Amino acid sequence: MSTPVFPEAFSLKGEVAVITGGGTGIGLAIARAMHGAGARVILVGRREHELAAATRALGAGSSYIVHDVTELDAAPALVQRVAADVGPLTCLVNNAGIHLKKAAVDTTPAEFESVLRTHVLGAHALTSAAAKGMIQRKAGSILFTASMASLFGIPLLIAYAAAKSAYVGMVRTYATELSPHGVRVNAVAPGWIETELSRKALAGDPARRDRILTRTPMGRLGVPSDIGWAAVYLSSPAAQFVTGVILPVDGGISVGF
């Protein structure tokens, strides 16, 4: 295998990337970075107005498909539509998710199941559908958006933590099964990133913000592009020998004391 050289090593030119939950927040940051690296990006989500606004901002080389990842049986049709409209899907980013902040003892089975269906079953359905074509082509990259909740205990997030922790096992198992076929599987685990959602949450809880910053060796929150460029790296030729990895992008909080 030839060794790519800079800057081609980090280029996604020719790639067709589907990013679920791609209309806002970290998903949009990943889409923006991949688009900037040359990929044709397709944003997937449930809210058309957000997807349309995001693709207008990205410009040529971007498009969107309204799709609910919890409609598990529709995953193959989504992959087929991408292939018909743009070309074979070569890079899948499983980023769609929902949040639930609630005490573990008060979280109902229905609430727990809803979170798992979106994160875990939705990601599995799309990964399974996309991987079949990647195996045939002997190439592809699949990326999961994990979390600090995958790595250590965070109160009031029992369902979310279970879902994001499941990603760790999914990445490792998928990597073991798919890597012999040329398909790499990895995850990015964002730390505390400054998004509109996190700003609202932390603005009302200054003690929590101080606790986060105190535990973070770099002493600040990350920005969405930190996750976007990490996703580009893991999907690029520069990471051609990287698979089964959970990459924390967290300012050191997962190793801080």
pLDDT reported for residue 234: 98
pLDDT band at 4 (very low <50, low <70, confident <90, very high): confident
Cα–Cα dist 56/42, whole Å: 12
Half-sphere CA count of 66, side-chain side, radius 13 A: 7
Cα–Cα dist 142/229, whole Å: 15
pLDDT band at 204 (very low <50, low <70, confident <90, very high): confident
All residues at 6 or more sequence positions from 243 whose CB lies less than 8 Å from its CB, including other chains: 175, 179, 184, 185, 186
Distances from the Cα of 90 to the Cαs of 12, 28, 65, 136, 195, in angstroms?
10, 18, 16, 11, 28
226: left (phi over 0), alpha (psi -120 to 50) or beta: alpha
Residue among 137, 141, 138, 133 nearest 174 (CA)? 141
pLDDT band at 1 (very low <50, low <70, confident <90, very high): low
pLDDT band at 141 (very low <50, low <70, confident <90, very high): very high
pLDDT reported for residue 214: 93
pLDDT digit string (tens) for 106-131?
A: 999 999 999 999 999 999 999 999 99
The answer, yes or no, to whether residue 201 has pLDDT greater than 80, is no
- pTM for this prediction: 0.95
pLDDT digit string (tens) for 12-24?
A: 999 999 999 999 9
Residue among 150, 146, 135, 128 nearest 227 (CA)? 146
pLDDT band at 158 (very low <50, low <70, confident <90, very high): very high
Report residue 131: phi and psi, to 5°.
Answer: -65, -30
The answer, yes or no, to whether residue 26 has pLDDT greater than 80, is yes
The answer, yes or no, to whether residue 200 has pLDDT greater than 80, is no
The answer, yes or no, to whether residue 237 has pLDDT greater than 80, is yes
Residues in the chain: 257
Cα–Cα dist 9/239, whole Å: 8
pLDDT reported for residue 250: 97
Mean per-residue pLDDT of the chain: 95
Please give the share of the chain, as a percent, with pLDDT higher than 90. Answer: 89
pLDDT reported for residue 208: 85
Residue 97's H or E segment, with its range, is none
pLDDT reported for residue 232: 98
**Is domain 8-192+223-245 given the CATH code 3.30.300.10 in the classification?**
no
Average pLDDT over every residue of 51-72: 98
Instruction: Enumerate the active-site residues.
Output: 160
